[in-house]
Amino acid sequence: MQDTIIETIVEAVTSNNAFSYWEIPLIGFVSAARPEFNDLKKIVSENHLVPRDILPGAKSVICYFIPFHSSVVESNRDGDKASMEWARAYIATNELIAHIGDVIESLMGKDGFQVGKIPATHNFDKAALISNWSHRHVAYIAGLGTFGINNMFITDRGCCGRLGSIVTDYEFEYPAFVDREERCLFKRDGSCGICQNRCEKEVYKNGTFNRASCYETCLENADYYRDIGLADVCGKCCVGLPCSMTDPTKKKRSQSV
């Protein structure tokens, strides 16, 4: 089943008419029983859900990262608004993540298994601006990457892209080792920090993250691109970085082995 799920997600991305937006996805599997899920009620929010809240009888969580193509990433480097390519990719990826959930639900349902689907976005408290199911934290628990100081999630293929996750009552095989070695260069040795200066509104100031200012910027972009769909997105703090499209610590990590 595991290989089938991987093939299904890859095919959903690569066979899509909008494939030019994306690179090959990263996919991980993690036990729904891991204690780190309960920790998210302290780390993220007391209202953060655990897998069994999404699906009673949950045994596993499938999570995946869909990297944006280099052309999408480069398009968003300049200007104070998100680029048209970035906005379109955001909308298309939300639709793709919904499609992946539907396909996996149908596939696993044929063998009598259930899934719990979570929206790609807009599943957060509009007042507190905190998600009740953080795809990023789920991906961290699964070992797909670590958090940068810009609050973005750095995978082996960088931080420019989108994360999705699905809960199921099927029990997969899980890796014996979960890689959570720090990928953010600033957190690792203080050698970067470029992302903090990429934001026009100084969302990252004096080492703190201003959620309200960030969301305000995203809403401004949503209004600017209202004719193409809901693009409440920005992404300026993700582009033009050593971690935009790769894990920048790979070389350092290999040298330390």
Query: Domain-by-domain residue ranges, the chain?
Result: 2-248
Q: What is the pLDDT of residues 229-254, one digit of tens each?
A: 999 999 999 999 999 999 999 865 54
Residue corresponding to tokens 């729904």? 32
Task: State residue 205's pLDDT score.
Answer: 74
Sign of CA dihedral 46, 47, 48, 51: positive
Question: Would you call 127 exposed, middle or buried from its count of C-beta atoms within 10 A (0-12, 13-18, 19+)?
Answer: exposed
Has residue 7 got a pLDDT over 60?
A: yes
What percent of the chain is predicted at pLDDT more than 90?
79
Task: State residue 124's pLDDT score.
Answer: 75
Has residue 50 got a pLDDT over 70?
A: yes
Nearest to 183 by CA among 226, 150, 229: 150
Quickly state the pLDDT bin for 255 (edges 50, 70, 90): very low
List the alpha helices (DSSP H) in the chain. Answer: 2-14, 36-43, 51-54, 70-75, 84-109, 135-142, 185-189, 211-224, 250-256
Q: What is the pLDDT of residues 162-189, one digit of tens each?
A: 999 999 999 998 887 788 899 999 999 9
Average pLDDT (44-52) is 94
DSSP sequence for 13-44: HHTSTTGGGB-PPEEEEEETT-THHHHHHHHT
